[in-house]
Amino acid sequence: MQRLFALRGATTVERNDAGAILEATDELMRELMARNSLEPAAMVSCIFTLTDDLDAEFPAVAARALGLNRVPLLCTREVPVPGSLPRVIRTMLHYYAEQEHVPRHVYLGEARVLRADLDAAQ
């Protein structure tokens, strides 16, 4: 029997540059898919957020290039909390998997500090 799961992930980029955003998103999505043995057909939707200092490209462009053409994608802004980590791309990916599946969240680069409790699992 299958059920709906949600994966979280985040990464950082060095600069507000289209290439950097696409490269970081590609790496994040590939890692989420690999660690969770995910194919686009199992994906329901994916939401991306970017911090206010990133606006050179949509992360969804990188996801589409990975074959997520039939997965609804949404890009939006992260809440600009003072003192929060800069240049962050976050994602929440919804997908179907077998009920006993254990989601493996992915935090890369400087974004690892966002979920230090998961560091041992990475």
Residue 122 lies in a domain: no
In which band, very low, low, confident or very high, does the pLDDT at 120 lie, cut at 50, 70 and 90? very low
**Mean pLDDT, rounded, for 82-96:** 97
Residue 65 lies in a domain: yes
Number of domains in the chain: 1
| Residue range(s) defining the domain that contains residue 48 | 2-116
Tens-digit pLDDT profile for residues 14-51: 999 999 999 999 999 999 999 999 999 999 999 999 99
Inside any domain, residue 31: yes
Interacting residues of 95 by C-beta distance below 8 A, sequence separation 6+? 4, 5, 6, 7, 36, 38, 42, 43, 44
Residue 48 lies inside a defined structural domain of this protein: yes
What pLDDT score was predicted for residue 118?
67
Structural domain includes residue 44: yes
- In angstroms, the CA 42 to CA 72 distance is 12
121 assigned to some structural domain: no
Instruction: Give me the pLDDT at residue 121, please.
Output: 46
119: pLDDT strictly greater than 80: no
